[in-house]
Amino acid sequence: MSGFAWAFARDLRLAWRHPGETLMVVAFFVLVASLFPLGVGAEPQLLRRIGSGVIWVCALLAAFLSLSSLFASDYLDGTLEQMVLSPRPMIGWTSGKIAAHWAATGLPLTLLSPLLALQYGLDADTVAILALGLALGTPLLSLLGAACSALTLGARGGGVLLALLALPLFVPVLIFGAGAAEAQASGLSAAPHLSLLGAGLIVGAMALPPAACAAIRIALD
Amino acid sequence: MSAIEATGLACSRGDSRLFRDISFSLAPGEWLAVRGANGSGKTTLLRCVAGLTRLDCGEVKWNGKPVREVASDFRAAMLYAGHAPGIKDELTAAENLRDALALRGTRPDDAVIDDALKAVGLEKHRRIPARRLSAGQRRRIGMARLTLDSASCWILDEPLAALDSQGESMFAGLLATHLQRGGCALIATHHDIGATPPREVRLTP
Amino acid sequence: MAWSYFSSPATFYRLARSLAPWFFALAALLAAAGLYTGFVVAPTDAQQGEVYRVIFIHVPAAWMSMFLYFVMACYAGMSLTFNTRLAAMMARAIAPTGAMFTFLALWTGAFWGRPTWGTYWAWDARMVSELVLLFLYIGFIALANAFEDSRRGDRAASLLALVGLVNLPIIYFSVQWWNTLHQGSSVKFTGSTMHVAMLQAMLLMTFACWMYAIGATLTRVRSVILERERRTRWVRAL
């Protein structure tokens, strides 16, 4: 069993035993997305116009909320040290943890997005592109967030500091993800956006776990 | 040939130097006690040898080769237990033990795991989430791991903390068996474990 | 003379003290020359009138903000690779000056934008990237100071600086892309052929800012060194 499989299975089992994290993320997503129409008015044209952007921002914020718990509990109870000191290469189990984090947060958000899209009256094609964009973008958010979360392990000013570091990194993902859905809505092709997101995901999947590993080593020093 | 050889270790925490010019060697079959007052750097020394904390200067050798070069071999042969017991609250004692061993590369059967937990007196608590176990009971899960793991070098930070006298004698027995098999141990403790007093590394602040 | 001689904080401390005033003096001279050229010698712009003159502060500040970030990231890289204390201290010393220039660029940019294009803020790639750069600086300073152990703060912030260095061009290009889609108010710098006096003024001001930045960094690094090395003999002897 590789380090990836070990960490993935373990973290999923932990998330299953303690589903509060996933439920909170999902609840936050739905809640905030429902706040927007209350704030800007429920005119169908307007909602259709802002729908994909709003849903993306809400998904981004919901994904951000779950980041602090990615390494924090392992750091506090000493299991992170054991993982670093194990003979398994760090990259394996770090990637496994990030993948499990996405499965417990980003994936539910992606699956739930069509329901929220209904609230905003988006048409079927746009909804599909929105969900596809989220499917590509949320793993990238988990990867970026993992590196930032590892950097801030044990730091003062926790959540706000993490926001300061992570949200600027999220900006390109938001631009291309929401851009894809909007392109589809205005009749243009969403392919360039989605392919850039996909390329970003591939590069991120290769480059960000090592950055997270370096940050974890710094945190345990 | 000594298993671990440390020369001229020095480390600082924050802006203050904790210890400098610490050297020792550890041969198979013996254990070394790291002693010193609170805050003198015992934990940091152990973490430096284990490879978690960066040294300011000095070198640690494993079987004659610098640890840097044989890092994965060293990590496979070395077991570190720090202050935090490395136990997940949401998992049961048996699951924690199984995960900890799988991380280190061993996958024993359920029967073996159950036997190990029985040997440390946790057989009735196998299926209870660790959150509901006391600190001493969590330490015992760590001891069960020590029995099942194949590591030849133990680096332990205050292993007797939170253990009752039964637990302490259990640990002394574990250590004796480990040393008999040719293992070695670097232990930060102010106790004398076992019959013969060990060699010491004393840290002064 | 081996350069590594200067990597000892004690030696660098003395060197910085002797060099800093020269840089400040140079900065003052260049600034005087630049401002004179910019405000007195350069002609009034045909389209924008007198208000355009704010670019003599805005553009050098923007260039400096990006250049200083690059230098800071280089020091960060050095401190992570070679584990030298002084490189990390230099990175920390640069950050506040860099943040100041970024803020100045944004502020003067808004000041310029209002009379010229009718808006304080435009969502174009340059302005958004400059704003993100400000967050990167603030994030760096916050992270570096968020830990009890200052060495850990150094290393975490250095890693952040490097990640930000990669991220900044990505953000720039993604916002540029986004702009072409949304047809937002595109802010273009009018006057591709600049009067030679304008160019001179901008270059003078850029060098002035650069000299100031060096002087400020050298001064600041001295207090960082004092703080860090406060338990060593040479500091106690001061």
Q: Does pLDDT of C3 surpass 60?
A: no
DSSP code per residue over chain C: --GGGGGSHHHHHHHHHHHHHHHHHHHHHHHHHHHHIIIIISPPBTTTBGGGGGHHHHHHHHHHHHHHHHHHHHHHHHHHHH--HHHHHHHHHHHHHHHHHHHHHHHHHHHHHHHHHS-S----HHHHHHHHHHHHHHHHHHHHTSSSSHHHHHHHHHHHHHHHHHHHHHHHHHHHHHHHHHT--------SS--HHHHHHHHHHHHHHHHHHHHHHHHHHHHHHHHHTTTSHHHHT-
Range of the domain at C212: 52-236
Residue C193's pLDDT is: 57
The size of the B-C interface in CB pairs under 8 A is 14
- Of the candidate ranges A62-76, B68-82, C27-41, the one whose mean pLDDT is the lowest: C27-41
Per CB-CB distance under 8 Å, the chain A contacts of B88 are 14, 73, 77, 79
Question: Looking at the domain assignment, is residue C154 inside a domain?
Answer: yes
Residue B187: count other Cβ atoms within 10 Å of its Cβ.
24
pLDDT, mean of residues B180-197: 85
Per-domain boundaries in chain B: 4-203
- Rounded to two decimals, the pTM is 0.87
Q: Does pLDDT of C186 surpass 70?
A: no
φ/ψ of residue B100, rounded to 5: -60, -40
Per CB-CB distance under 8 Å, the chain C contacts of A172 are 167, 170-171, 174
Q: Is C151 on the interface with B (CB under 8 A)?
A: yes
DSSP code per residue over B64-99: TEETTTTHHHHHHHEEEE-SS----TTSBHHHHHHH
Of A145-149, B103-107, C193-197, where does the model show the most confidence? Answer: A145-149
Instruction: Give C40's pLDDT tier (boundaries 50, 70, 90).
Output: confident
**Residue scoring higher pLDDT (A53 or C114):** A53
Q: In what order do the strands lie in the sheet with B78-81?
A: B78-81, B153-157, B184-188, B31-36, B199-203
Query: Nearest CA to A147 among A162, A127, A130, A125?
Result: A162
Residue C142's pLDDT is: 92
Burial of B124 (0-12, 13-18, 19+ CB in 10 A): exposed
Query: Nearest CA to B13 among B41, B36, B42, B49?
Result: B41
Q: Does pLDDT of C52 surpass 50?
A: yes
Question: Looking at the domain assignment, is residue C189 inside a domain?
Answer: yes
pLDDT, mean of residues B164-168: 87
- Rounded-to-integer distance, Cα B135 and Cα B162, Å: 6
Q: Does pLDDT of A54 surpass 90?
A: yes
Instruction: Give C169's pLDDT tier (boundaries 50, 70, 90).
Output: confident
Instruction: Give C55's pLDDT tier (boundaries 50, 70, 90).
Output: confident
Question: Looking at the domain assignment, is residue C201 inside a domain?
Answer: yes
Q: Does pLDDT of C1 surpass 50?
A: no
Q: Does pLDDT of B20 surpass 90?
A: no
Distances (CA, A) of A182 to A179, C8, C175: 5, 56, 15
Residue C187's pLDDT is: 46
Scanning every residue of chain B, which has its alpha carbon at the shortest distance from the alpha carbon of A3?
B103
Q: Does pLDDT of C47 surpass 90?
A: no
Question: Looking at the domain assignment, is residue C28 inside a domain?
Answer: no
Identify the contact set of chain A against chain B, taking CB-CB distances under 8 A: 1, 6, 10, 13-14, 17-18, 73, 76-79, 81-89, 93, 220-221
Q: Does pLDDT of B1 surpass 70?
A: no
**Residue scoring higher pLDDT (C117 or B73):** B73
User: Tokens 């040393």 — which residue?
Assistant: B179
pLDDT, mean of residues A85-98: 93
Instruction: Give A101's pLDDT tier (boundaries 50, 70, 90).
Output: very high
Scanning every residue of chain B, which has its alpha carbon at the shortest distance from the alpha carbon of C225?
B15
Question: Looking at the domain assignment, is residue C114 inside a domain?
Answer: yes
Residue C168's pLDDT is: 84
Residue C191's pLDDT is: 46
pLDDT, mean of residues C82-94: 89
Q: What is the fold, at CATH topology level, of the domain defined by B4-203?
A: Rossmann fold (3.40.50)
- Check A215 against C178: CB less than 8 A apart: no
- Rounded-to-integer distance, Cα A213 and Cα A146, Å: 10
Name B22's bridge partners: B9
pLDDT tens, residue by residue, B105-138: 888 888 898 888 888 888 888 888 888 888 888 8
Question: Looking at the domain assignment, is residue C7 inside a domain?
Answer: no
Q: Does pLDDT of C188 surpass 80?
A: no
Beta carbons of A63 and A143 less than 8 angstroms apart: no
First to last CA, chain C: 26
- Helix (H) or strand (E) segment spanning residue B18: strand B16-26
Query: Nearest CA to B78 among B157, B26, B153, B156?
Result: B153
DSSP state of B124: G
Beta carbons of A66 and A148 less than 8 angstroms apart: no
State how many domains chain A has.
1
Q: Does pLDDT of A25 surpass 90?
A: yes
Residue C184's pLDDT is: 46
Beta carbons of B168 and B14 less than 8 angstroms apart: no
- Rounded-to-integer distance, Cα B44 and Cα C23, Å: 43
Of A31-35, B67-71, B108-112, C163-167, where does the model show the most confidence? Answer: A31-35
Q: Does pLDDT of C230 surpass 90?
A: no
Instruction: Give A58's pLDDT tier (boundaries 50, 70, 90).
Output: very high
Question: Looking at the domain assignment, is residue C219 inside a domain?
Answer: yes
